[in-house]
Amino acid sequence: MRSTIGAFALLSGAASGQLYTSQSNLNHTCLLQKPLLSCPPQNPALVDSCCVETYGGLLLSTQFWDTYTGREEEGQLLPEGAWTLHGLWPDFCNGSYTQYCDLTRQYDPIPSPNTTDGTKNGTPVPPYTGPNIGTFLEPFGKFDLLAYMNTYWIAQNQDNAGFWGHEFSKHATCYSTFNTACYGPEYREHEEVVDFFKTAIKYYKRVPTYKWLKKAGIKPSNETQYSYSDIRDTLSAKHGAIPYIGCSGPRYNTTEAGANGTDTGFTRLTEVWYYDYAYGRPQDAHTIPVNATGSVTNCAKAEGAIWYYERTESSVKKPTIPY
Report the SS3 class of residue 160.
Answer: helix
In the residue annotation, 167 being an active-site residue is answered as yes
For the chain, domain boundaries:
30-317
State the DSSP code for 264: -
Tell me the one-letter amino acid at 102: D
C-alpha 144/C-alpha 94 separation (Å) is 36
How would you write the pLDDT of the chain (323 residues) with one tens digit per residue? 454 433 433 343 444 457 888 888 888 899 898 999 999 999 998 999 999 999 999 999 999 999 999 999 999 999 999 999 999 999 999 999 999 999 999 999 999 999 999 999 999 999 999 999 999 999 999 999 999 999 999 999 999 999 999 999 999 999 999 999 999 999 999 999 999 999 999 999 999 999 999 999 999 999 999 999 999 999 999 999 999 999 999 999 999 999 989 999 999 999 999 999 999 999 999 999 999 999 999 999 999 999 999 999 999 999 999 99
HEC sequence for 46-84: CCCCCCCCCCCCEEEEEEECCCCCCCHHHCCCEECCCCE
Q: Give alpha helix (H) positions in 171-287.
A: 191-205, 209-215, 228-239
In DSSP terms, 234 is beta-bridged to: none
pTM exceeding 0.85: yes
What confidence score (pLDDT) does residue 6 get? 38
What confidence score (pLDDT) does residue 17 get? 57
* Of 100, 244, 92, nearest in space to 172 by CA: 100
Q: Give alpha helix (H) positions in the chain.
A: 143-152, 160-170, 191-205, 209-215, 228-239
Indicate the pairing of strand 225-226 with strand 287-290. Answer: unpaired
Largest CA distance in the chain: 64
What confidence score (pLDDT) does residue 101 get? 96
* Domain spanning 30-317, CATH class: alpha beta
Question: What does the CA dihedral 216, 219, 223, 226 come to, rounded to 10 degrees?
Answer: 50
Of 28, 86, 190, 239, which is the active-site residue? 86
What confidence score (pLDDT) does residue 13 get? 40
In the residue annotation, 190 being an active-site residue is answered as no
Q: Where are the beta strands (DSSP E) in 179-301?
A: 225-226, 244-251, 266-278, 287-290
Q: Give alpha helix (H) positions in 251-307.
A: none
Taking only Cα atoms into account, the Rg of the chain, rounded to an integer number of angstroms, comes to 20
In the residue annotation, 86 being an active-site residue is answered as yes
Of 28, 171, 190, 239, which is the active-site residue? 171
Buried (b) or exposed (e) across 70-103, using 16+ Cβ within 10 A?
A: ebeeeebbbbeebbbbbbbbbbbbebbbbbbbbb
Of 53, 167, 192, 271, which is the active-site residue? 167
